[in-house]
Amino acid sequence: MTALLALNALTVAYGKLHAVQDVSLQVAQGERVCLIGANGAGKSTLLKTVGGLLQPRSGSIHFASQSIGSLPGHAIVARGLALVPEGRGIFNRLSVLENLELGAWLRRDRAAVRQEIATICERFPRLGERRNQPAGQLSGGEQQLLAIQRALLSRPRLLLLDEPSMGLAPMMVEAVFSSLLDAHRGGITLLLVEQNAQLALTHTDRGYVMESGRITMENTSAALHDDPQVRAAYLGVGSL
């Protein structure tokens, strides 16, 4: 079976600093995959490169069997890959509704978009109530929910998420992850980067561990969760 997303020997550099080195990774259609690792391990750089915000130095990125490594961000969205960036990437001065409408920028089925936005406003009443207010006034958790729903409006096959739990209250984290699981049940493949390894491993099927720009481990999430090394390094269990 061919993977939906396949990275092969990917290297990304900022000047001379190799933030991502020789990374190969696959995500199959319908999978939930996480990428965990310490701060500065290169997880975020990797995700930004897949989403088209950064250009790889070498190696390849294939999505649905087509090379997307050299495409600009706006062309990658059109292929069916949406990125919810670190820090959520909300358009602060635009209204909640305008943010959602921009998520559907590439779509031409206006009536269906309007219907989907109405559904979102019903499912997330906090977004619905504030649809005409600047999105910058939402709380962090509400912004994360908005960013995810906005990304889903582009009807992606694969959703990339960069630290979706960062800076959120525990209740909001739950709401965010339950909305992700809903999306997954709706047929969307997930690849998420998380510093909160516990959270990531309990909500995904498979995981990669990244250290200093390289993938050091790969296994099912359950196996990683029970791995003594992972437990000591990322789950805060065991002796130091």
Partner 1 sequence: MDILVQQLINGLVLGSVYALIALGYTMVYGILELINFAHGEITMIGAMIAVATIGALSGGALPIPVILFTGLVAAMAGCMALGYVIERIAYRPLRHAPRLAPLITAIGVSIVLQNIAMLIWGRQYIAFPPVLPQGWHTLLGARITDLQVAILVTALVLMLVLDLLVHRTRLGRAMRATAQSIPLAGLMGINGNRIISITFLIGSALAAISGFMVSAYYGLAHYYMGFLLGLKAFSAAVLGGIGNIRGAMLGGLLLGIIESLGAGYIGTLTHGVIGSNYQDVFAFFVLITVLILRPSGLLGAPATDRA
Q: Could you give the 3-state DSSP secondary structure of residue 196? A: coil
CA distance 210 to 35: 7
In whole angstroms, what is the distance from residue 221 CA to residue 166 CA?
A: 20
Q: Can you tell me the distance from the alpha carbon of 39 to that of 159, in angstroms, rounded to the nearest whole number?
A: 22
Structure tokens at 23: 């990374």
How far from the centroid of its chain's Cα atoms is residue 211's Cα? 19
CB distance 64 to 27 below 8 Å: no
Considering the rule CB under 8 A, would residue 69 count as an interface residue with partner 1?
A: no
> Is residue 98 close enough to count as binding partner 1 by CB under 8 A?
yes
Contact between 72 and partner 1 (CB under 8 A)? yes
Stretch binding partner 1 (CB under 8 A), from 14-22, 95-103, 115-123, 230-238: 95-103
C-beta neighbour count of 185 within 10 angstroms? 8
By CB under 8 A, residue 106 contacts partner 1 = yes
Which amino acid is located at 95 in the chain?
S
Whichever of 190 and 209 has its CB closer to partner 1, that residue is 190
Shortest Å distance, C-beta 107 to partner 1:
9
Determine the Cα–Cα distance for residues 44 and 203; give it in Å rounded to an integer. 19
From 9-17, 69-77, 138-146, 178-186, span contacting partner 1 (CB under 8 A): 69-77
61: contact with partner 1 by CB under 8 A: no
Closest CA relative to residue 219, chosen from 206, 232, 237: 206
Among 89, 128, 134, 140, binds partner 1 (CB under 8 A): 89
Check residue 94 for interaction with partner 1 (CB under 8 A). yes
CB of 217 to partner 1, least distance (A): 29
Number of residues that bind partner 1 (CB under 8 A): 25
Q: Is 51 in the site for partner 1 (CB under 8 A)?
A: yes
Which of residues 57, 62, 91, 235 is near partner 1 by CB under 8 A?
Answer: 91
- Told to check if 223 binds partner 1 by CB under 8 A, we report no
Q: Are 149 and 102 in contact (CB under 8 A)?
A: no
φ, ψ for residue 225 (rounded to 5)? -60, -30
What is the closest distance, in whole angstroms, from the C-beta atom of residue 222 to partner 1 in the complex?
32
List contacts with partner 1 (CB under 8 A): 51-53, 72-74, 77-78, 82-83, 85, 89, 91-94, 98, 101-103, 105-106, 150-151, 154
